[in-house]
């Protein structure tokens, strides 16, 4: 396990997680009751919801990664693209290359800050 930490995590492990998350997202939600006169499909998906979905996906991948490593930190400047730190139920993801900056902060299930670029999202989806 320490060797995999030094050389980066296996892509297959992260790919399995992404596949499972996509399966969960594709499950149909139960239809809302007729008394509300609203069907979930009639509610437009806005960019805010899309942003939250991506942030939750990245957070889930990061928690899973840290659980697999048995650690609360991952990533080093010069070795990894991203740094992940967890303290209790708080999670922080930082971009370590280029302009080093925090791109995601989550406390419990609440997204406190998300500045994920399309590139960041693609990197975590492909991981």
pLDDT at residue 57 in the model: 92
pLDDT at residue 107 in the model: 94
CB 91 within 8 A of CB 109: no
| pTM summary value | 0.61
Rounded-to-integer distance, Cα 50 and Cα 56, Å: 10
- Mind listing the pLDDT tens digit of every residue in the chain (127 residues)? 444 444 455 666 666 666 766 666 666 555 444 444 444 444 454 577 788 889 999 999 999 989 999 999 999 888 899 999 999 999 999 999 887 899 999 998 899 999 998 888 888 887 6
Which burial class, exposed, middle or buried, applies to 84 when counting CB atoms under 10 A from its CB (0-12, 13-18, 19+)? buried
């Amino acid at each position: 396990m320490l060797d995999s930490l030094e050389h980066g995590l296996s892509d297959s492990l992260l790919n399995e997680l992404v596949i499972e998350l996509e399966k969960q997202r594709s499950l149909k939600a139960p239809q809302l009751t007729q008394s509300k006169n609203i069907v979930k499909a009639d509610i437009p998906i806005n960019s805010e919801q899309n942003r939250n979905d991506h942030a939750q996906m990245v957070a889930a991948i990061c928690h899973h990664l840290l659980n697999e490593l048995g650690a609360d930190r991952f990533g080093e400047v010069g070795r990894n693209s991203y740094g992940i730190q967890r303290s209790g139920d708080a999670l922080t993801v930082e971009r370590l290359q280029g302009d080093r900056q925090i791109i995601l902060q989550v406390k419990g299930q609440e997204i406190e800050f998300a500045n994920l670029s399309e590139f960041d999202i693609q990197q975590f989806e492909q991981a």
